[in-house]
C-alpha cells in the first residue's frame, strides 16, 4: 500500500465534480444521440438496416473497447486535456456526421465521436477519484449519474432539433462542445491541484500494491453483471409486447423505469458503499437480481413494470462501486482500471444479447429472461471470492494555483 498520509479533504469537491459530471453527460449524450439519428439518415443516404446498425456498433466499439488504451496512456503522464478534447471530439463528430454527404464519411465521423467518448471517461474517472476526498464511492456515483442523465437526454434533445431543422439540427451539438470545452479548459488548473504529488518511493509502493488477480476477478464479475443487464435492456421491450401482450408505450415505460430507477440506484449504491463497504454492496446488488428477474416472468404487466424498476435500481447500484474497486485494486494504474471497468467490460455487455435472442426464438422469451438470472448469480458467487482492497491513502494534493 502507499504510505499513509493525511487526506486533504473528507468530502467531495462539488464544483469540480459538477463540471466532471456535466462533461460526462455531454459525451454520453452524443453516444445516446446516434440511434436517434438513424431514422433521418436512412432515407437521406438510402441506407439498409445492416449499414444503419453498423453505425451504432461503430459508436459502441469506439467508445468502450478503446477506453483502456486511453486509460493506460494517461497513467504514464497526466492528460487533463483529454477532458475538453474528448467533449469536443464527441460533440463535433456526431454533429458533422449528421450532415456528411456519404455513408463512409458518416461512419468515420461516428467513430471519431466514439473516440471522444472513450478519451473522456478514464481521465474523468481519475479526477472524479481525486476530487472525492475520502468519499470515493459517493463521488463516483455523482460522476456516473452525469453519464446516465446524458445518455438518456441525448435522443430527447436531438430529436426535436432534427424534426424542426432536419439533419442540420444536429449541428446544435457544437454548443456543448464549445461551452463545456471552454469550462473544462478553465477548470484544468484547479483539477490538477487535486492530483497528488507522488514520489518515486510512493509510486513503487503503489505498483507493489497492485492486485492483478483481484482486478481480473472483478472484471469477470462486471462482465457477468453487464451481460445480464444489457441483454435485458434489449429483451424487455420485446418481452412486454410478445409475452405480456402490452403496447409499445407500456414496453417503453418499463424500459424507462429501469433506467430512471437505475440512476437513483447509482446514488444510493455509492453512499452505501462508503458506509458499509464496497463488497457488501456489490454482492447484495448481484444476489437480489435473480429473484427479481424470475419474478418478472410470473406476474402481470403492472407488477412487471414495478419489478423492472426494482431491477434497474439494484443492478445499477453497483456500477460506480465497481469503478472505485477497480481503482483500488490497481492504485498505480487508475486510468487503466477505469478504462476497463467503465469501457471494455461494460461494452462487452451487448455480446450476450444475440445468444439470448436465439434462445428466445427457439424456447420463448420467458425462458430467455429466466436464464438471464444465471448471470448475476454467477457474478455474486465470483464476488464472494474478491479480496479486500483497503483504499490507499493518497498523498496530500498540491495547493490550488501551484
Please give the pLDDT value at position 287.
96
Whether residue 221 contacts residue 345, with contact meaning beta carbons closer than 8 Å, is answered with no
Whether residue 391 contacts residue 136, with contact meaning beta carbons closer than 8 Å, is answered with yes
Cβ within 8 Å of residue 157, ≥6 positions away: 29, 33, 172
Please give the pLDDT value at position 36.
81
pTM above 0.85, yes or no: no
DSSP one-letter string for 102-159? SHHHHHHHHHHHHHHHHHHHHHHHHHHHHHTTT-HHHHHHHHHHHHHHHHHHHHHHHH
DSSP one-letter string for 374-400? HHHHHHHHHHHTPPP-PPPPPPPBPPT
Q: Which residue has the cell 447484495?
A: 284
What is the C-alpha to C-alpha distance for residues 31 and 52, in angstroms, rounded to an integer? 15
What is the residue-level pLDDT of the chain in tens, covering all 402 positions? 333 333 445 678 889 999 999 999 999 888 888 878 888 888 899 988 678 878 877 887 788 788 888 888 888 877 899 999 999 999 999 999 999 999 999 999 999 999 999 999 989 988 998 998 878 888 888 998 888 888 878 877 888 888 889 889 999 999 988 999 999 999 999 998 888 765 455 455 555 668 899 999 999 999 889 888 878 877 787 788 888 888 877 887 888 888 889 889 999 999 899 889 899 999 999 999 999 999 998 899 999 999 999 999 999 899 889 989 998 898 888 888 888 887 766 666 666 767 777 887 888 888 888 888 999 999 999 999 998 765 554 544 454 444
Whether residue 190 contacts residue 131, with contact meaning beta carbons closer than 8 Å, is answered with no
DSSP one-letter string for 214-267? HHHHHHHHHHHHHHHHHHHHHHHHHHHHHTS---HHHHHHHHHHHHHHHHHHHH
Alpha carbon of residue 23 to chain centroid: 13
Q: Which residue has the cell 454520453?
A: 28
Whether residue 136 contacts residue 129, with contact meaning beta carbons closer than 8 Å, is answered with yes
Amino acid at each position: 500500500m502507499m504510505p499513509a498520509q493525511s487526506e486533504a479533504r473528507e468530502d467531495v469537491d462539488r464544483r469540480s465534480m459538477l463540471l466532471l459530471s456535466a462533461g460526462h453527460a455531454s459525451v454520453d449524450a452524443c453516444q445516446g444521440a446516434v440511434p436517434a439519428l438513424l431514422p433521418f439518415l436512412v432515407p437521406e443516404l438510402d441506407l439498409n438496416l445492416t449499414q444503419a446498425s453498423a453505425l451504432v456498433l461503430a459508436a459502441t466499439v469506439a467508445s468502450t473497447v478503446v477506453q483502456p488504451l486511453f486509460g493506460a496512456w494517461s497513467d504514464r503522464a497526466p492528460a487533463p486535456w483529454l477532458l475538453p478534447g474528448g467533449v469536443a471530439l464527441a460533440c463535433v463528430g456526431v454533429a458533422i456526421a449528421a450532415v456528411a454527404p456519404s455513408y463512409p464519411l458518416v461512419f468515420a465521423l461516428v467513430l471519431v465521436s466514439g473516440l471522444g467518448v472513450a478519451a473522456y471517461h478514464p481521465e474523468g474517472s481519475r479526477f472524479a477519484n481525486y476530487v472525492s476526498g475520502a468519499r470515493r464511492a459517493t463521488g463516483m456515483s455523482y460522476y456516473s449519474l452525469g453519464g446516465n442523465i446524458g445518455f438518456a437526454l441525448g435522443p430527447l434533445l436531438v430529436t426535436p432539433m432534427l424534426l424542426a431543422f432536419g439533419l442540420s439540427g444536429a449541428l446544435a451539438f457544437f454548443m456543448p462542445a464549445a461551452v463545456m470545452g471552454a469550462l473544462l479548459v478553465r477548470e484544468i488548473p484547479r483539477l490538477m491541484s487535486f492530483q497528488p504529488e507522488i514520489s518515486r518511493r510512493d509510486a513503487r509502493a503503489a505498483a507493489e500494491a497492485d492486485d492483478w488477480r483481484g482486478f481480473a476477478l472483478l472484471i469477470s464479475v462486471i462482465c457477468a453483471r453487464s451481460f445480464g443487464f444489457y441483454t435485458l435492456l434489449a429483451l424487455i421491450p420485446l418481452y412486454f409486447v410478445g409475452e405480456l401482450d402490452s403496447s409499445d408505450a407500456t414496453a417503453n415505460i418499463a424500459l424507462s423505469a429501469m433506467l430512471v430507477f437505475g440512476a437513483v440506484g447509482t446514488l444510493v449504491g455509492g453512499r452505501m458503499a462508503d458506509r458499509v463497504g464496497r463488497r457488501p454492496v456489490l454482492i447484495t446488488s448481484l444476489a437480489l437480481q435473480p429473484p427479481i428477474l424470475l419474478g418478472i416472468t410470473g406476474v402481470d404487466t403492472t407488477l412487471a413494470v414495478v419489478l423492472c424498476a426494482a431491477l434497474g435500481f439494484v443492478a445499477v447500484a453497483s456500477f460506480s462501486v465497481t469503478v472505485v474497486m477497480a481503482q483500488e485494486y490497481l492504485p498505480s494504474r487508475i486510468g487503466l482500471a477505469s478504462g476497463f471497468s467503465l469501457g471494455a467490460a461494460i461494452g462487452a455487455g451487448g455480446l450476450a444479447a444475440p445468444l439470448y435472442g436465439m434462445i428466445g426464438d427457439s424456447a420463448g422469451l420467458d425462458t430467455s429472461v429466466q436464464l438471464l438470472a444465471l448471470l448475476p448469480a454467477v457474478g455474486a458467487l465470483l464476488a464472494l471470492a474478491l479480496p479486500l482492497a483497503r483504499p490507499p491513502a493518497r498523498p496530500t494534493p498540491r495547493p490550488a494555483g501551484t
